[in-house]
A and B are shown apart, each in its own frame.
Chain A
Amino acid sequence: MMIVAGVDVGSRTTCALILGDGGIMSSSLISTGPQSAKTSRKAMKEALTRGNLTFDDVGYIVATGYGRVLVPFANKIITEISCHAKGANWYFPTVRTVLDMGGQDCKAIKVDGIGNHVNFAMNDKCAAGTGRFLEVMAEGLRLPLEDIGELSLQSENEVRVSSTCTVFAKSEVVSLMRRGIDKRDILAGLHEAIATRVYGLLRQVRVEADFAITGGIAKNIGVVRKLEEKVGLKALIPEEPQIVGALGAALIAKDNI
């Protein structure tokens, strides 16, 4: 049996995934610590333990993500654009547009039928449209990050949030709360602001069906619904949207053997 691994060291979350002949054998998802090398080793160990495997069982390892150059045991490094394209194609072979919304960046990727990326647009300069934005807002609203998606769907009177700058949006949220506006209505406004911003990125690559969303924000149903409205397509969401990059890396590792 051929066993390979992919490690995706993101700015906030690190994922290691082990791939065998029959598909995904195991995976791990941990917070990225200050030392990426250490974090990548820990994630890899966790995935191996879960799969009842040792390091020697793995034939080839591809690293990707923001901290990819710092993975000491990688045989090869590949950009996250290529890996997300490959990973999304594995989940959904019909996908042509992938939106990856990560912890500190956001990318719109056009993919062909075999998982190669043909075009992309990226924002990694500004926190708008990234997990970081939502984290700061959840903190300001004193709500758990995992609850804000569902809560925003209960809004009956969405307010307009005019800033997409995280710093300015946070003060806007504080003043809306002070005016007694329902948190759910503020959340709906925040998700609208972010979806509008991210839609600009999608328009740069011109959306084609099928459309998939990956990365941590894909777990926020509020943002997903807003994006679906703007794009006019239903979004395909992988079962575990945060492992797509590592999965793509592992698939590339397999091709390398």
Chain B
Amino acid sequence: MTFAGVDVGAQSIKLVILGDGDILYSRVSFTEEEGAIASQRLMEQALERLNLSFDDFSHAVATGVGRGTVPFADMQRSEQLCHARGAYWFFPSARTVLDIGAEGSRAMKLNDQGRVVDFAINSKCAAGSGAFLEAMTKIMEMPIGEMGMLAAGAKRKAKISSYCAVFAESEVISSIHRGVSKERIVAGIHESVVDRLIEILGKVGIREAIVVTGGVAKNIGIIKGLEGRVGLEMKVPPDPQLVGALGAALIARDVMSGKG
């Protein structure tokens, strides 16, 4: 049997196709198209590659901000549930899951069976999200990955006192003008994001193991910053941005096998 999970995020759409055992296909597509068109195309490409038709699908679950737009979805599930499910599949020891997306972050507390028992979200404000880092790449004239590497190795940090991404932008510009080193500024930028993430984590409480998902989990500066502050290891699955879609596909499979 085959199952599909689609995660329609703020910046990208992710698709995971699951068989009875492992992942059969996965794809991330950065698009500015509407969710309905983009998810349909992504699914058709997957079917062609796998030599399958829509009828071969047992169940499809959609998640993400645009989950309501996916035309072939049988069910919709929140990002909290999907990220938690995906993270638990990779790491059954997961008790805290932190998802850092392009336009929001969320922390989930899991019980020993992997069920979400509590969660906290910030999706109203760019502070502590990928959008904050994205805004800074323009000013620092550096790709996001390079910024993360530089921050991870920085010895000293510049203090970014603004909470708001827009105010932080001006603060960063004036630091550049004052001649503060790029390394220190970038470290300060990452610390600001880490501060916000610690606030969200604090709302659900931290229990080991901690799994970090979402596109920003690929940023080594953020991961090292979190580890420094929490004093615990952050587990990052391969392709962390796919975890929501994977979780959706897993939930589709759980439902069909009567476990959902």
Could you list which residues of chain A lie within 8 angstroms of chain B, going by C-beta atoms?
34, 104, 125-127, 132-133, 136, 163-168, 171, 175, 178
User: In the docked arrangement, what's the CA distance between A171 and B32, Å?
Assistant: 11
Say yes or no: is B166 at the interface (Cβ < 8 Å to chain A).
yes
| Docked-complex contact B32 and A166, CB < 8 angstroms | no
Given known contacts A34-B174, A34-B177, A175-B32, is B164 in contact with A166 (CB within 8 Å)?
yes
Contacts of B163 in A (CB 8 A): 125-126
| Docked-complex contact A132 and B177, CB < 8 angstroms | no
| Docked-complex contact B174 and A165, CB < 8 angstroms | no
B135's partner among A133, A163, A167 (CB-CB below 8 A) is: A167
| Docked-complex contact B177 and A127, CB < 8 angstroms | no
> What 7 A-B pairs are tightest by C-beta distance, nearest first?
A167-B126, A127-B166, A166-B166, A165-B125, A126-B164, A125-B163, A167-B165
Nearest to A135 among chain B residues (CB) is B166
User: In the docked arrangement, what's the CA distance between A164 and B124, Å?
Assistant: 8
User: In the docked arrangement, what's the CA distance between A136 and B167, Å?
Assistant: 12
Given known contacts A167-B126, A167-B131, is B167 in contact with A178 (CB within 8 Å)?
no
| Min C-beta distance of B179 to chain A, whole Å | 12
Could you list which residues of chain B lie within 8 angstroms of chain A, going by C-beta atoms?
10, 32, 103, 124-126, 131-132, 135, 163-167, 174, 177
Given known contacts A132-B166, A178-B32, is B132 in contact with A167 (CB within 8 Å)?
yes
| Min C-beta distance of A3 to chain B, whole Å | 35
Contacts of B177 in A (CB 8 A): 34
Extra contacts, 18 of them, besides A133-B166, A167-B126 (Cβ < 8 A), are A34-B174, A34-B177, A104-B167, A125-B163, A126-B163, A127-B166, A132-B167, A164-B124, A165-B126, A165-B165, A166-B126, A166-B166, A167-B132, A167-B165, A168-B103, A168-B126, A171-B103, A175-B32
User: In the docked arrangement, what's the CA distance between A249 and B32, Å?
Assistant: 50
| Docked-complex contact B32 and A165, CB < 8 angstroms | no
User: In the docked arrangement, what's the CA distance between A165 and B166, Å?
Assistant: 9
User: In the docked arrangement, what's the CA distance between A171 and B103, Å?
Assistant: 10
| Docked-complex contact A168 and B131, CB < 8 angstroms | yes
Given known contacts A34-B177, A126-B125, is B32 in contact with A167 (CB within 8 Å)?
no
| Min C-beta distance of B35 to chain A, whole Å | 11
Nearest to A132 among chain B residues (CB) is B166
Identify 27 residue pairs between A and B in the complex whose beta-carbon atoms are under 8 Å apart, listed by A's number. Answer: A34-B174, A34-B177, A104-B167, A125-B163, A126-B163, A126-B164, A127-B164, A127-B166, A127-B167, A132-B166, A132-B167, A136-B166, A164-B124, A165-B125, A165-B165, A166-B164, A166-B165, A166-B166, A167-B126, A167-B135, A167-B165, A167-B166, A168-B103, A168-B126, A168-B131, A171-B103, A171-B131
User: In the docked arrangement, what's the CA distance between A168 and B166, Å?
Assistant: 11
| Min C-beta distance of B111 to chain A, whole Å | 33
Residue among B103, B165, B166, B174 with most chain A CB within 10 A: B166
| Docked-complex contact A125 and B124, CB < 8 angstroms | no
User: In the docked arrangement, what's the CA distance between A168 and B131, Å?
Assistant: 8
Contacts of A171 in B (CB 8 A): 10, 103, 131
User: In the docked arrangement, what's the CA distance between A188 and B164, Å?
Assistant: 24
